[in-house]
Amino acid sequence: MYRTHTCDELRMENIGQEVTLSGWLQASRDFGGMTFIDLRDRYGITQLVFNMEDDQDLCAQARKLGREFVLRISGSVRERSNKNPNRSTGNVEIVVTEMEVLNASKTPPFTIADETDGGEDLRMKYRYLDLRRTPVQQNIIFRSKLALETRKYLSDQNFVEVETPFLIKSTPEGARDFVVPSRMNTGQFYALPQSPQTFKQILMVAGMDRYFQIVKCFRDEDLRADRQPEFTQIDCEMAFVTQEDILNTFEGLTKHLFKHTLDVELGDFPRMSYDEAMLRYGSDKPDLRFGMEFVELNDVAKEKGFSVFDNSELVVGICAEGQAESYSNKDIKKLTEWMQRPQIGAKGLVYVKVGADGIKSSVGKFFSEEQLQVWVEKFGAKPGDLLLVLSGEIDKTRKQLGELRLEMGRRMDLMKDGDFKPLWVLDFPLLEWDEDSNRFHAMHHPFTAPKKEDVDRMLNGDHETMKNLRADAYDLVLNGSEIGGGSIRIHDRDLQSRNFDLLGFTKEEAEAQFGFLMGAFEYGAPPHGGIAFGFDRLCAVMNGQSSIRDFIAFPKNNQGRDMMIDAPAPVAEEQLVELGIDLVKEVIE
Ligand code: ASP
């Protein structure tokens, strides 16, 4: 028998019992006559004692053991003389009478403790050691619980879990596909799904009514801190529903998950249109843990003789409460430079400091104190507040100010852990005009339906009209992260075909890529819609963490590499020949 208890089970009531534990050596302390070992498993840590007087050989053996050795011990439980109140087993220890070393361990390349000294790539290379650390282990356990609660809730709501294939044809979700060569069809390729979008819609045509899947999706994108080439979605679709039904069902799911994993009760989720979110926060995923809403100044800042503002579409600012004193001219200069970095691209930054004895501003030469006082009133600012103002083209300026708002929120420590602010963002535009490629893109994806009242305009309107079509498309935002997104879909062949036209597909291209879906729509497709949650991100945001990596057992690094198995890697010549892609290789060489 390897164990009678886990390393987190023994308490005062076990005193006197003979027990057997197995686990890893976390730490050992040698006091001459006595040696202490902390034995760890997934559940916790239990202290072991080896007594020189009781058994010299055993004690000598214990002293030689290194960190991460795997042990099985037996002994009797006794009360500890100096208790450790920070540990659940801290009242007791085991006086060891028997020990077997189940396996030795090399000295680990980094400390296996809550705080580790291991760098990111080293931790990934030795992921099996990293996963022994409690915080990482807890994340993975949390993830498992979240998946379980998701299944419970959705199956209670009559959703059926259906697996869709991984070897498919491209789905256009806006990223590049990972492709897989086909041996049996030389020169042809499968694509890994960016999402099961078309399959779940087909399942609705098939009468499945309510579908879900906790599913891997693959997108070949340049990686950022919170992106992974393979990630997991809670993917869902429902037939015979309106947007309202979907919002209610998945608000319910989110509340259920918070209640049953974190014991947090979320109130009803506020809703905001896309336009309103852009107007008030310069973002379609505003972090509502703090205010700092935009105040537009066009009517009081333009046509006062300051040409920068006069030549701008929009003058808009935020009020950083109580920050006037904290920002010297040098600090403002630094903040301005931060805003001017190419990632943000602001041209400049205007400040107004509201003081008890007057107003100071970088545009003081152009505006009188009375004029600036009008700004202050618009902001409802008080002495001590700092106004930060940007100007320029409407969309760009709002986005830039949105970044500044977040940065100020961070600096002022306004985003508190454990504070959860969900938000539905609704009424996204259907299409987005892209100046560079001179064509429309689907804001969500090409299967999203326009709002009912916009269908006519979509079928018959001119180019300009298309820019103003709205969709029943929605995002669920949590603390400034988009954790879910979906839409009511087109279920009519002609409308779907019109959408492909608008997106620049020729009839042949649309037919070749999506003929199967449009064909299915001709056999009694029900009205339907759905949503997908970013499962990894949901885990991270619920735990107040910014990176999804530590919620994925075996993640890839920033270069898309798995450091442990060292992938991707070249394959043998014979494999290429067999796949019929040796020719490609010859061309490259
Ligand atoms: N397939 C979409 C996505 O991956 C979600 C949806 O529309 O249901 O974002």
In the chain, what are the domain boundaries? 12-103, 290-411
- Pair 271, 423: CB distance under 8 Å: yes
CA distances 26 to 44, 325, 489, Å, are 11, 49, 54
The amino acid that residue 33 corresponds to is: G
Protein residues with CB under 6 Å of any ligand 1 atom = 173, 195, 197, 485-487, 530-532
12-103 is a CATH 2.60.120.640 domain: no
pLDDT at 283 over 70: yes
pLDDT at 51 over 60: yes
CA distances 84 to 15, 18, 80, 344, 390, Å, are 16, 22, 9, 51, 56
pLDDT at 159 over 90: yes
First to last CA, the chain: 59
Which atom of ligand 1 is the closest one to the Cα of 447? Answer: 7
pLDDT at 589 over 90: no
Q: Average pLDDT in the 512-525 region? A: 96
154's CB contacts (< 8 A; 6+ apart) are 161, 210, 212, 236, 253
Tell me whether the omega of the peptide bond preceding residue 568 falls within 30 degrees of 0, making it cis.
yes
pLDDT value, residue 282: 98
pLDDT at 584 over 60: no
The separation between CA 227 and the C-alpha centre of its own chain, rounded to angstroms, equals 8
- Probe target for ligand 1 pocket from 221, 445, 487, 490, with the most ligand atoms within 8 Å of CB: 445
DSSP letter string, 117-163: ---HHHHHHTHHHHTTSHHHHHHHHHHHHHHHHHHHHHHHTT-EE--
296 vs 378: CA distance, rounded Å: 9
- Probe target for ligand 1 pocket from 232, 235, 250, 284, with the most ligand atoms within 8 Å of CB: 235
Better-scored residue on pLDDT, 461 or 587: 461
Q: What is the pLDDT of residues 476-485, one digit of tens each?
A: 999 999 999 9
Q: If DSSP codes are grouped into helix, strand and coil, which group holds residue 360?
A: strand
Give the CA radius of gyration of the chain: 30
Q: If DSSP codes are grouped into helix, strand and coil, which group holds residue 452?
A: helix
Q: What is the pLDDT of residues 118-150, one digit of tens each?
A: 888 999 999 999 999 999 999 999 999 999 999
pLDDT value, residue 294: 98
291 vs 589: CA distance, rounded Å: 57
Confidence grade of residue 558 (pLDDT, cut at 50, 70, 90): confident
Helix extents (H) in 390-534: 394-411, 455-460, 463-467, 493-502, 507-521
Tell me the sheet residues that pair with 481: 478
Q: Average pLDDT in the 340-350 region? A: 96
Which atom of ligand 1 is the closest one to the Cα of 486? Answer: 7
Q: Average pLDDT in the 541-564 region? A: 94
Helix extents (H) in 163-296: 197-205, 243-257, 274-281
**Ramachandran assignment for 207, one of left (phi > 0), alpha (psi -120 to 50 degrees), beta (any other):** left
pLDDT value, residue 32: 85
Going by C-alpha positions, the residue among 358, 347, 349, 315 that lies closest to residue 329 is 349
pLDDT at 468 over 60: yes
- Pair 75, 22: CB distance under 8 Å: no
pLDDT at 174 over 90: no
pLDDT at 383 over 60: yes
- Highest mean pLDDT among 320-324, 434-438, 543-547 belongs to 320-324
Ligand 1 centre to CA of 139 (Å) is 25
Confidence grade of residue 571 (pLDDT, cut at 50, 70, 90): very high
Which atom of ligand 1 is the closest one to the Cα of 531? Answer: 8
pLDDT at 343 over 90: yes
Pick the CATH number of 290-411 from 1.20.1600.10, 3.30.1360.30, 1.10.10.10, 3.40.50.720: 3.30.1360.30
pLDDT at 15 over 70: yes
CA distances 486 to 215, 427, 444, Å, are 16, 11, 8
pLDDT value, residue 133: 95
Q: Average pLDDT in the 204-232 region? A: 92
Q: Average pLDDT in the 261-267 region? A: 98
pLDDT value, residue 246: 98
Residue with the smallest CA separation from ligand 1 atom 4 is 195
Residue with the smallest CA separation from ligand 1 atom 3 is 532
Confidence grade of residue 585 (pLDDT, cut at 50, 70, 90): low
- Probe target for ligand 1 pocket from 159, 171, 173, 197, with the most ligand atoms within 8 Å of CB: 197
Ligand 1 centre to CA of 249 (Å) is 16
pLDDT value, residue 263: 98
Averaged pLDDT score across all residues of the chain: 95
pLDDT value, residue 187: 87
Ligand 1 centre to CA of 532 (Å) is 5
Output the CA angle 560-562-567, nearest 5 degrees.
90
The amino acid that residue 495 corresponds to is: L
Q: Where are the beta strands (DSSP E) in 505-560?
A: 528-534
